[in-house]
A = this chain, B = another copy of it.
Amino acid sequence: MSKLLESSCLHCKKRSDIFEALSDEELDRVDMCRVNMRYHAGEIIFKQGSPCYDFVCVTSGLVKLYIESENDHRLIIGFAKPIDYIFVPGAYVDKRHHFSAVACEDTTACLVEADMIQNMVKTNPNFASSFIRKISAQSIALLEQISSITHKQIPGRMADTLIYLSTKVYNSNPFTTNLIRQDLADLSGMTKESAIRVLKTFKEDDLIRIDGNQIEIINQPMLETISRNG
């Protein structure tokens, strides 16, 4: 497991790249407004609707971000990986979280006071630009997901999910995951049963291979075709 406490932001090997824009003196200021936390797999880091005081910078593990509605449906809108931080849109609007974050592996993260980050945005223009770039990228990811889910049928959506996991989240193929079928379904906007069925057809068609919690994409071109055809 990883160290519980980094000695300081200044020498931290795991700080998100938006902090690169900061001077040593500014990093020290961040250092004074942060708490290092450790979460077990399955623990909630913050919950949709709750007030937001901090920005979460993930230093190890994996965090799942999802929105939930009254009728108990969930949609996973993305993951936060190490050396990444979670953009909290409510921080600048209504001081509320608009999605929930749950550790899906054992995870360590630094919580940095939102006020401090917002101050930094005002005092360091390069930091502001990095910040905006990050938000923009997240918006684009949301647009892509909304497009996939609303425009495509089950096979296309699952193909998108598998390619997303392999290329954007785990950066490997095959990849080992502890996401369960329900998670794959929540990523693709379908039920667990539908996810199982479409994965079965993918396996039968030799597009993928699933062995325990390892998933391998065997025929990515075909998956991409399925994705394109919806």
Contacts and interface: CB of A to CB of B under 8 A. Distances in A.
Given A75-B147, A125-B128, A126-B122, A135 B142 contact: no
A151 B151 CA distance: 15
Interface string A123-146: 101101101110111111011111
Interface of A: 67, 69-71, 73, 75, 77, 87, 89-94, 98-99, 118, 121-123, 125-126, 128-129, 131-133, 135-140, 142-147, 149-152, 189, 228-230
A71 B140 contact: no
A139 B75 contact: no
B75 A136 contact: no
B71 A132 contact: no
Contacts of A69: 147, 151-152, 230
A143 B99 contact: yes
B151 A230 contact: no
Contact of A146 (B122, B123, B142): B142
